[in-house]
Amino acid sequence: MRNARNGLAFLVAMLFVVGSMGDAEAQRRRRRARTNNPAAEQHQATNGAPGLSGFSTRLRTLVQSNRLPTFQKHGKTYFATKNSTPMNQYTALSNNVVEFFISPGFHHLYTRIGDQTYSRIGGLSRSSYYRGSSERIGVLVELKSHEMERLKSYLDRAEANPGQVLGPFNYNGGRPPNMSNCTSYITNAPIGRNGESLGRVCGVGESGFPQGFLGSLMRSNNERVKAVVVHNPSGTFSENYRFNLE
């Protein structure tokens, strides 16, 4: 009997050791995975739930906390802002988000990064983003970190020396540095690892036409194109809202 009890105790002890070794090995595998992919660990820790990017989480919070009208279309979130929508929450959706927006008439494209707006007529101007009172239609694009770094560097060079970087202003567009307009200067921005343009990275190609560029982004299935926003909608915002861009 004593031998049987000793044998049983030995078996339990061995099972405990094997289980502990398995747990230890699992922990080592997780540590190796985090070491090989630190971004994945940071992604999950930051956002709380795998599968949701920082942008998606912040957008959902912005929409829900401010009760913004919204619907889904073309795999994107369409939403409208109100006069009461906190602009600091809106502009802080993500560090890597670019907004391309147009005002009524669709004749001029503005580019917003964070709380700064870029506009090209002649040179390249940079100004603080403001809400505005008229309707604006924008598309929100989330770039990768290295793409955003290249875009910001390009814009800094273009602002400092538009003639050399962007060329003369031409309403019909063109390819910098020969000539460009309010749209072609940004859609041709070399942001890819191999110099690919912003337009091609977004899957729509370069363009010199504001309305055509935004319409192409809205129809695009590219993963970087995240959402469509209407500021100060002129009518009831619903899935049947007439964007005149699609």
- Measured in whole angstroms, how far is the alpha carbon of residue 83 from the centre of its chain? 23
Is 70 exceeded by the pLDDT of residue 63?
A: yes
User: What are the helix (H) ranges across 122-194?
Assistant: 145-160, 162-165, 184-187
Residue 60: how many other CB atoms lie within 10 Å: 13
Give the model confidence (pLDDT) of 112-155 as tens digits: 999 999 999 989 999 999 888 889 999 999 999 999 999 999 99
Q: How far is CA 100 from CA 178, 198, 216, 227, in A?
A: 23, 12, 12, 11
Asked if 55 and 141 count as a contact pair (C-beta separation under 8 A), the reply is: no
Integer-rounded Cα radius of gyration of the chain: 25
Asked if 129 and 183 count as a contact pair (C-beta separation under 8 A), the reply is: no
Give the containing element (helix H, strand E) for 143.
none
Give the model confidence (pLDDT) of 29-56 as tens digits: 555 544 444 343 333 333 333 444 588 8
pTM of the model: 0.77
